[in-house]
Each structure stands twice: as C-alpha cells, then as structure tokens.
Amino acid sequence: MNIPHTNLSRLVVIGGGFAGVALARKMVKEDVQLILLDRHNYHTFQPLLYQVSTSSLEPDSIAYPLRKIVKRGKNTFFRMAEVESIDPDTKQVHTTIGNISYDYLVIATGARTNFFGNASIKSNAMRMKNLPQALNLRSLMLENLEQAVITSDPEERKELLRFVLAGAGPTGVELAGGIAELKLNVLPRDYPDMDFDDMEIHLIEGASRVLPPMSEHASKKATQFLQNLGVQIHTNTQVKNYSDNLVTTNTDLSLKTATFIWSAGVTGAPVSGINANALIPRANRYKVNEFNQVEGYENIFAIGDISVMETKIYPKGHPMVAQPAIQQGSHLAKNLKRHLKGKAMTPFKYFDKGSMATIGRNKAVVDIGKFKFGGFFAWFIWMFIHLWFLVGFRNRFVTFFNWVYNYINYDKAARLIVRPFKNKNNNTVDRV
C-alpha cells in the first residue's frame, strides 16, 4: 500500500460514509497515522441519490473526494480499496491492494440493499444505494422513455411508462414523488408527441401505511401529497417476484413494468474475520458497547449503520440514518483522543434531531419531537438541512443553484443518457 512505518499509533478506518468521514475529519490533526479505506474515492450523500436518479442533480453535486478530507493532515492517507477481511489475531486488514496492520480499527462499512433472499428480485430489480446504481436508474428510465416514444404497440408503451417501487420508506416515497414530478412538469415538454396519461407510478408497501418509521401524521400527509401527484399507493402488499417484466405480489395486484425499483430494506455490510458472536445474524450488524467497541474486542470499533448499540430507548440499535452515523463518528473521535491521552472513554448518547422526507417539488413531512408538520414550510426546512449537511461549499452552491433553477423553470438539468444502462449487446450492466 506504500504507507510508511512511523512511531505513531496507526488508526485504520474502513468506509468513507457519514460515520467514517465524521471520525476522519476530527482525527486528521491528531498524533496518529490515519488511513482511510473505501472502495470509492468519494463520499456519497445518500439522501440525495434519488435526485441523481430523477435527473435533478449531477452525481458530482452529492459526492465529495475522500482525498480532500485526509489531505489536511501530515500523517493521513487515503487508499481506494475493497476490504476483503480482517484478521484480529495479527491485527491486519486484507484488501484488494494489499494488507495493512493497525493499532486501532474502525469499521464504518454501512449497509447494503436487503433482498430478503429473493433471487428473482435480486437479479432483476433496480436499486439505489450508491452513485453508479443511481445513474443506472436514471439511464434506464430515460432509455425506456426513448423506447416508449417510438413503439407502436400500446401495451409495450404502457409497460415502458409504468414505474413500480417496492418499499414506501423515505427512499421509496421521495423517489416516487420525484418521478411523479417528472411526469407532471418535465417530460411532457421533452416528449410533446407522447401521451403522459399512460405513465403510471405505483408505490407498494408491506405495512399498513407509507413512511412506517415516521409518525401517523407524516404518513397521512405523505399519502395525500403522493396521491395529489398521481402516485398509486398499495399498502398491505408484499412483492413476491419480478421476472420477465412482471411484478407479482401476495394480493391480486400484478403489474407489467420495465422499471421495477427495490427500496424495501437494507442489511449491514460486514467484513469477514470478526468473531461470529459479535455479529447479529439477521441484521448483519456488529454488536457494540456504549463506546462503540465491537463485542469481544478492545481496539476494534464499529460506527454508523454497521453497528448496533442496544440501549433502553433503542433496544434494537439506533435507526439506520445519517445522524447516528455522524454523531457516533464524532463521538468516537473524542474517545480515541481521550484514549491516546490515557483518559477513560465516555459513553455515546444519541441526540435525536427528528426525521423528514420530501415529496415532489415543494412538499415535505417533518417529525421533530412533538412537532409534526407537512407542506411547503416543511419542504423549506428539508431543503436547508440537506444543504447544510452536504459536504463541501461547491456542492452546496451547485445544488442550491440547481434547486432554484428547477423551481423557477419547472425543469431539471440532467436528462442525458451519458452512461447507457444497457450495453451494445443489450445486456444489463453494473447492477451490483
């Protein structure tokens, strides 16, 4: 890996997501050798992936180079590598570019899409957990529109213009709203010769309401906003299969569609080598104590989506969202600094700042403690909070500019198929 040996303790961080970046930013100036590893050379702001998929933002607006984060320190290094395994006995991390030893190891590998063992959905559905996948989805949607405008078969056109999403959590709700907005405000101007009454957006949810993790109030408001945008909501319905462009469910509902998007769950993305007792099997996440130490290890920590810290308020661990990841990353940095100075570590306490989801061009729902509201004001808050947490001034500026432009012009800037989803042999590519 070409990393010098020094007298400093070596801190290896796997994952440059919200948790890993929050930690690394606070450790770059410390007396440790910091090595940040990630399979991508950028940090992704996942809450805005749906805007890349629906052509509102270009990918660079929501990504930030990880090298820029480590370059501020003298003893800090970034290496782009896939971590394959950890050997706690020899304190080594094995990666695609070689092995590296550690004194302290932080696992911040986040989560991946959970298909709950359904092979047909895994092989055929679109997903949106990283930028390449968001771009795939954008390309597929635009390619289907290009196909829809030339076909003379009305059934094929309907299939190409029917978008089906499984999972009405914040991701499914925001994506459905984004596609509906395209249908209402953008696409009819791009394709004046196509009848967009044929375009359907279906949102399928296994629970009895949309946004199950949020309040009843948020759920009701979101349902109303989505229905106003023309989204067809199917609750108490579970998708069973997707193959040959047919979605089947546990009810009478079955839908022919060329675009089926799976946003119905995530599971941890652990790295092999850690003692099996430390892994919660169904969640695929590491059990950690109040200092984020992985069960059974003193010098291995896990933060963010990959960790489960059981507390009275959160018996199954904190919600798998950005705030716990950021707060755990920052808190662990404080604890590592204390530990390096020979001081005792302090327990992590989560400060719940609330949750929110946006629907369409100017509506959102917000739950902050007892305050639950929805509509334009909520959207305003959603917008500023997302801008605030975007990493990098340039990203904030470009995103804000794009949103203002989209808002005023009822338009979206990025409807280009630069990176086709299908290769020239018509095979699908890069669905992993």
Ligand X SMILES: Cc1cc2nc3c(=O)[nH]c(=O)nc-3n(C[C@H](O)[C@H](O)[C@H](O)COP(=O)(O)OP(=O)(O)OC[C@H]3O[C@@H](n4cnc5c(N)ncnc54)[C@H](O)[C@@H]3O)c2cc1C
Active site residues: 174
H helix runs in 293-392, sequence order: 322-340, 376-389
Q: Which is nearer to ligand X, 269 or 391 (CB)?
A: 269
**Which H or E element spans position 132?**
helix 131-150
**Whole-number minimum distance, CB 197 to ligand X, in Å?**
29
Cβ neighbours, 10 Å, residue 389: 15
Q: Which is nearer to ligand X, 159 or 286 (CB)?
A: 286
Say if residues 16 and 130 touch (Cβ distance below 8 Å): no
According to DSSP, residue 153 is labeled -
Residue whose tokens read 């299908």: 422
The helices-and-strands tally (H runs, E runs) of the chain is 12, 25
Q: Which is nearer to ligand X, 206 or 270 (CB)?
A: 270
Residue 61's alpha-carbon distances to 52, 54, 71, in angstroms, are 9, 14, 20
Binding site for ligand X (CB under 6 A): 14-20, 37-40, 46-47, 49, 82-83, 108-111, 128-129, 170-171, 269, 271, 304-306, 320-323, 325
Residue 59's alpha-carbon distances to 43, 50, 248, in angstroms, are 11, 11, 33
3-class state of residue 314 by DSSP: coil
Q: Which is nearer to ligand X, 313 or 408 (CB)?
A: 313
**Whole-number minimum distance, CB 212 to ligand X, in Å?**
15
Q: Which residues contact 218 (CB under 8 A, 6 or more apart)?
A: 211, 357, 365, 366, 367, 372, 374
Q: Which is nearer to ligand X, 37 or 233 (CB)?
A: 37
Q: Among residues 15, 26, 9, which one has the least CA distance to residue 303?
A: 15
Closest CB to ligand X: residue number: 17
**Whole-number minimum distance, CB 147 to ligand X, in Å?**
26
